[in-house]
Structure 1
């Protein structure tokens, strides 16, 4: 029970680790002067009213900042054959010894499991007057 639970939770954790290491996203910020007007993660940041006036006046007080967080583009997949011979030998020996630790014992059969002893009518030790001293 606990082994299955640990296996499932470890698998989910590894899947989330791969997911978060490969995800890329951008954060867009719009400043009007030194004041932060809008921050957006998935869409364009909203512009302020000064942006429309800048076109007429040709003066810029607004600026946009874009922060890009890049994840991994490629995952490296290495095989058993990529390892050198000593590491292959160590890994094979470790795996064999680790699996051998958890080999289950054969199920023992109890031949007299359903045997019920006969009812005692008299105490034989008292009848024969044989006692362990």
Structure 2
């Protein structure tokens, strides 16, 4: 199995439309207990793949190496979320071993803050 290509994502380099109007994040996989949830941010005809990743998951594979887990925890402690690009997809790295609905919503609230919009502009559609 090949290791994913991981790099930090800059919120200022994300598409401008994320800061304009209402944005919807829709999952393509169930959230509760997952280590990774794939999803998509969209507004009208524009969209961007955007996933959530539990940074501390170690089984069946390690989700993130120590070089990314520490910044994920630091960002979270400061009220932010670490934005990564994992294999070309925007990925929000959150502390923990598994995602929950509450953790997912908080991560997306922090993404809204990172792109400079009020969280109420983000609509979330989850698969349970």
Q: Calculate the TM-score normalised by the size of structure 1.
A: 0.19
Instruction: Indicate the structure whose relative CO is greater, using CA pairs within 8 Å and at least 6 residues apart.
Output: 2
**More strand per residue:** 2
Q: Calculate the TM-score normalised by the size of structure 2.
A: 0.20
